[in-house]
Structure 1
Amino acid sequence: MQDKQGKQTDMITDVNKAQEQSLHLFVVLSRAFNWTSAHVQKDIREYGLNPTEFGVLELLFHKGRQPLQQIGDKILISSGNITYVVDKLEKKGYLLRKPCPNDRRVIYAELTQAGEQFLQEIFPKHREKLAEAMSGLSPEEKEITITLLKKLGKSAEMNFVDK
C-alpha cells in the first residue's frame, strides 16, 4: 500500500511542479511583454500616436486599403473603437474613408499621401527601436522563441473555453 501512496504523492508533486512552472512562465512572459511593449509605446508616443492608431496605420501601410469592419478583427479592437480611431486619424490627415463601389454597406480606410509619407519616415526608426528592445536574444534564440510562442498561443487558443 505504501507504494501506491508514494506514487500518488509523486503524481501530486509532479502536478504541483508543472503548475508552478506554468505560473513562473506566465510571470516571466508577462514581464518580458510589458518591457518590450513599454519600448514600443514610448516610441509610438514620440510620433504623436497611441498604440491603436499606430496599429491601424501600420496595417494599412503593409496591407493597403481595408474594410473598416476587418481592421478591428485584424488589430483586435471593437468596431466602436475603430470608428473613433479612424475619425482621429482622418482629422490628422493620415487616412480617409472610401465607400465600396459594389456594396454601399462597406467602407474602406486607406492611407492618404501624407499618411503614406509619415509611415515611410517613421517605420524604419520604429523597426530599429523594436530591434533594440529585442536585442537580448540572438537571431537563433529569436527564431526558437517565435516557434515556441506560436505553439503556446495555438495551444492556449485551442484550450480556451468562454464561459
Structure 2
Amino acid sequence: MVTESEKMNVSHEIWMMIMKIYNENLKTFSMSLKEVGLNPTHFEVLHLIFRNQTMDQKTIAQTLNLTQGNITHCIRHLDKLELIAIEKDWKTKHISLTEKGKKLLDDLIPAQHQMMEHTLRGLDCNQKQQLRELLVAFANTCKKSV
C-alpha cells in the first residue's frame, strides 16, 4: 500500500520534472528568439495572430492572459519591427501579420518544432501518444482546480 508521504513525493518529482523540462526548453527557445529581437510573449502573440489571421488587441490579451499594459507594449514592439499591421476601427485595433511577420514565423515555427522533436527524441510514437493523453488529463485537472 502506498503511503500519503510516498504519493506526495511522486507528485513532487513529477512537478519538478515538468518544471525542469519547461525551463530548459524556454531558455533555449528564448535565446533563438532574442537573436531576432523577440521574447516568448512576442512569439505567442505572433503565433496566435498567424492562426487566426486577424485579431483585435483585447482578444489577444484575453486569450494569452496578458494585461492591457503588457499587450500594448508587445504590440508596439511588434509594430516597430514591422511584423504586424494595425488597423484602427474606432476604439478597436485589428491586428494582422505583415509579410515580414509571416516570413519570420515561417522560419521560427519549424525551428520550434525541431526543438520539440529533439526534446521528445527518446520516446517512440506510442509513448508520445500516451504522454499526450496524460498531459491532456493533467491540463483538464488543472483547469478544474483554478
| Residue in 2 that maps onto 1:106 | 92
Aligned to 2:35: 46
Deviation of the 1:111 alpha carbon: 0.8
Aligned counterpart in structure 1 of residue 22 of structure 2, from 7, 30, 33: 33
The CA deviation string for residues 25-53 of structure 1, in whole angstroms up to 9 with x for no partner, is 11111112112222322222233211111
Q: Which residue of 2 aligns with 1:78?
A: 67
Q: TM-score, normalised by structure 1?
A: 0.79
Aligned residue type for 2:100: A
Number of aligned pairs? 146
The one-letter amino acid of 1:119's match is L
Residue deviations 1:60-85, cap 9 Å, x none? 12221111111122223222100000
Corresponding residue for residue 88 of structure 1: 77
Residue in structure 1 matched with residue 45 of structure 2 by the alignment: 56
The alignment status of 1:16 with 2:2, answered yes or no, reads no
Cα offsets for 1:102-159 (capped at 9, x unmatched): xx33211111122122222332233223322332322222221111111112112212
Alpha-carbon distance between aligned partners in 1 of 2:82 and 2:36, rounded to the nearest angstrom: 14
Q: Please, which runs of 5 or more residues in structure 1 have no aligned partner?
A: 1-9
* Alignment-mate amino acid for residue 136 of structure 1: G
Partner of 1:5: none
Q: Which has the higher contact order (CA 8 A, sep 6+)?
A: 1
Q: Partners in 2 of 1:78 and 1:28 — Cα distance?
A: 29
Q: Give 1:149's match in structure 2, choosing from 123, 135, 142.
A: 135
Residues 1:20 and 1:125: Cα distance change in structure 2 (over 3 Å): closer
Q: Distance in 2 between matches of 1:35 and 1:142?
A: 19
Q: Which runs of 5+ in 2 are unaligned?
A: none
Once superposed, what is the RMSD of the aligned Cα atoms? 1.9
Q: Which sits farther off after the overlay, 82-91 or 133-142?
A: 133-142
Asked if the contact 1:39–1:133 (Cα under 8 Å) also holds between the matched residues in 2, the reply is no
Question: Runs in 1 of length 4+ with deviation above 4 angstroms?
Answer: none
2:83 is equivalent to residue 97 of structure 1: no
The reply on whether 1:121 has 2:107 as its aligned counterpart is yes
Change (3 A) 1:96 1:143: same
